């Protein structure tokens, strides 16, 4: 357990302790506090933790604006704030042990073990401490456990709820540890870390899961046909699942790769069969990747896809009072925003609307050029090819001058006052900002305090401003599994 007791467990007790106040004025205030604090330890049977990785405030806003204008309704996240449902809203401090700018592994570990750790580690302390994870705690308490993501299942955020590893990049080892920890539902990408011919040790982890009673599925039709009465491993892509904007364009992806909402529904159907309850983490992980890559269509439509998963959870919890739901992000990333452009900023709405005609992500465009984000440079690409690619993928005709800037970025020759903006991602998004109005400040994480929303038993115990590690205690105490956390 963390030694920072005031930041974590004491805030959960404030409602009960307030009844000890004496005197007329103090008694009146205590009575008001008592009425506000309703939930008690053990009131929650289930926990559903939704995290959209790398969401800045501007990402939430742009996605809501796009969903309203393109699809005629607000996001479910914003609808929550306008609804009659009792909910909590606040901000969260997501600092890691060694930095105010947090990595995804340390962020998820702060929720998953109640400890702040150094960036890059997964529930692993600076002196090689291995902290018991929240999925292990729920498993040992006889509750169901599930992790669903659009990234590789071996990636940082899902691992933060169920894995101990000194470095998040040890994904072969993370996959192996999953095969040993007996969680009930695992869904996402990452085939490369389970196949014998792709793993460095040559081990076939799919066979290991099947031997342990798992149903293994690799396509959306297989998921739809799979039994609801066994543990489930669903691995639907070699690496991360494709961006939603590409998924919407390519029929083969629609046929074979489930959406985050579809995976979430399938997980809930299975986990809800456990009479003792469950914990489920749902991650919209590729919002972070799109922010790193400054890809506006990848960012917005994956945020909307995450919002569809929120709707599945809302539907699941309607009419029941046994489930604590938390919706948040682990850190900001690139801080995108819709800029005010044109006379009296009047051009901004129509510029944003150009996004609706985008067919593909930057990731897809890189594939067409044979470029990977980790490459130093790309030779042989012509200005004409760049212009044609932009027109096809984004329905935007960029100028010859703009295409030259992009070409120079691919060749490693573009120079910007802020060196972070010299990459192809930074230059491509900057060029498109002339047409869609959406600009990014960087290609990296930021130190923002993050948005948190919650409902269900325990949501009333979350302060308006909360430290990340406190959510671990909230989940453990509200489901009455503290004994398994300390055992």
Extents of the domains making up the chain = 5-36, 46-336+453-486, 339-439
Q: At what angle do helices 260-271 and 296-317 cross, to 10 degrees?
A: 30
How much is the pLDDT for 375?
85
**pLDDT confidence tier of residue 336, bands split at 50, 70 and 90:** very high
Mean pLDDT of all residues in 156-183? 98
pLDDT at 20 over 70: no
Residues of the chain by 3-state class (helix, strand, coil), percent to 5? 45, 15, 40
**pLDDT confidence tier of residue 487, bands split at 50, 70 and 90:** low
Identify whether the C-beta of residue 315 lies closer than 8 Å to the C-beta of residue 56: no
Mean pLDDT, the chain, whole residue set: 93
Identify whether the C-beta of residue 137 lies closer than 8 Å to the C-beta of residue 111: no
Report the range of poorest mean pLDDT among 7-21, 140-154, 290-304, 443-457.
7-21
Mean pLDDT of all residues in 19-35? 33
% residues pLDDT > 70 (the chain):
92
Mean pLDDT of all residues in 450-477? 98
Q: Which CATH architecture has domain 46-336+453-486?
A: 3-Layer(aba) Sandwich (3.40)
Instruction: Give this prediction's pTM.
Output: 0.93
How much is the pLDDT for 76?
98
Mean pLDDT of all residues in 132-156? 98
pLDDT at 277 over 90: yes
94-129 b/e with 16+ CB inside 10 Å = b? bbbbbeebbbbbbbbbbbbbbbbbbbbbbbbbeeee
- Measured at the CA of 436, the angle between CA 435 and CA 438, to 5 degrees, comes to 125
How much is the pLDDT for 344?
97
Identify whether the C-beta of residue 336 lies closer than 8 Å to the C-beta of residue 61: no
């Amino acid at each position: 357990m963390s030694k920072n007791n005031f930041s974590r467990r004491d805030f959960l007790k404030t409602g009960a302790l307030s009844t000890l106040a004496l005197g007329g004025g103090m008694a009146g205030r205590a009575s008001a506090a008592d009425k506000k604090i309703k939930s008690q330890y053990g009131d929650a049977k289930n926990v559903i933790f939704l995290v959209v990785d790398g969401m800045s405030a501007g990402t939430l806003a742009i996605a809501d604006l796009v969903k309203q204008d393109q699809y005629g309704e607000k996001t479910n996240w914003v609808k929550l704030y306008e609804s009659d449902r009792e909910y909590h809203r606040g901000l969260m401090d997501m600092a890691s042990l060694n930095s105010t700018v947090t990595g995804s592994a340390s962020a998820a570990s702060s929720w998953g073990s109640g400890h702040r750790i150094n960036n890059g580690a997964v529930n692993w302390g600076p002196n090689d401490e291995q902290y018991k994870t929240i999925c292990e705690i729920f498993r040992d308490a006889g509750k169901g456990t599930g992790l669903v993501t659009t990234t590789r299942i071996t990636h940082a955020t899902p691992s933060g709820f169920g894995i101990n590893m000194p470095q998040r990049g040890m994904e072969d080892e993370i996959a192996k540890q999953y095969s040993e920890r007996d969680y009930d539902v695992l869904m996402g990408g990452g085939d490369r870390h389970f196949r014998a011919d792709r793993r460095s040790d040559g081990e076939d982890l799919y066979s290991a899961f099947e031997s342990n009673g798992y149903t293994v599925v690799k396509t959306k039709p297989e998921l739809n046909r799979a039994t609801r009465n066994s543990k489930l491993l669903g691995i639907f892509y070699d690496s991360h699942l494709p961006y939603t904007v590409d998924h919407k364009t390519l029929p083969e992806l629609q046929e074979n790769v489930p959406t985050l909402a579809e995976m979430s529904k399938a997980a809930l159907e299975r986990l809800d069969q456990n009479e003792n309850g469950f914990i489920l983490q749902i991650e919209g992980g590729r919002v972070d990747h799109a922010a790193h890559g400054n890809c506006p269509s990848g960012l917005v439509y994956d945020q909307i896809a995450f919002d569809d998963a929120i709707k599945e959870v809302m539907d699941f919890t309607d009419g029941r009072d046994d489930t604590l739901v938390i919706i948040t992000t682990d850190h900001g990333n690139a801080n995108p925003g819709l800029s005010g452009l044109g006379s009296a900023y009047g051009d901004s709405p129509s510029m944003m609307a150009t996004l609706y005609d985008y067919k593909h992500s930057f990731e897809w465009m890189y594939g067409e050029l044979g470029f990977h984000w980790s490459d130093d440079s790309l030779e042989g690409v012509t200005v004409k090819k760049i212009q044609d690619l932009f027109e096809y993928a984004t329905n935007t005709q960029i100028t010859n001058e703009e295409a030259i800037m992009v070409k120079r970025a691919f060749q490693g020759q573009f120079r910007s006052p802020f060196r972070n903006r010299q990459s192809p991602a930074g230059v491509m998004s900057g060029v498109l900002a002339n047409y869609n109005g959406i600009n990014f400040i960087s290609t990296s994480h930021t130190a923002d305090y993050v948005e948190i929303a919650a409902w269900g038993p325990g949501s009333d115990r979350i302060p308006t401003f909360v430290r990340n590690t406190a959510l671990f205690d909230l989940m453990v105490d509200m489901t009455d599994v503290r004994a398994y956390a300390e055992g």
